[in-house]
Amino acid sequence: MASFQLGDVPHGFAYNEDGNIIHYKHVILLATPTANESGTWGGEWLSFGSDWADARLRVAAHDGTSWVWVKHIDVVAANSRAVVQLPPGTQKVSIGREKKTAGDFVDNSPVGWLLEIK
């Protein structure tokens, strides 16, 4: 049976254009439900959508021991959802807005996330 969680990416830049942290108060951390369901789920997908303006996100996955990957995802308002499959064993996900350039100032456009577990 599929399971869903959804919410909004916080306003404010968490990372500069080089991927370095500006402030962690603009990061959201999701605990993923499959961590305790070994072998019974078919995968986890994280989707993002935006409106009014494009946004770049820095998304990182943690497997319980270390951060196993970091993606820089461009969420384009005119396109469909941006979708990534999380690595097996993901226990938590960190999501924050990242500046596209030093002059990027659009840090408050609506961006939503959807975590889908099958």
Domain range enclosing 84: 3-117
pLDDT in tens, 43-80: 889 999 999 999 999 999 999 999 999 999 999 999 99
> What is the number of residues in the chain?
118
Q: Can you give the CATH number for the domain in which 27 is found?
A: 2.60.120
pLDDT at 41 over 90: no
- For residue 42, the Cα-to-chain-centroid distance in whole angstroms is 20
pLDDT in tens, 18-31: 999 999 999 999 99
Strand partners, 4: 116
pLDDT at 118 over 90: no
* Number of structural domains found in the chain: 1
Once rounded to an integer, what is the mean pLDDT over residues 4-26? 95
φ and ψ of 6, to 5 deg: -145, 160
Which residue did the predictor score with more confidence, 3 or 89?
89
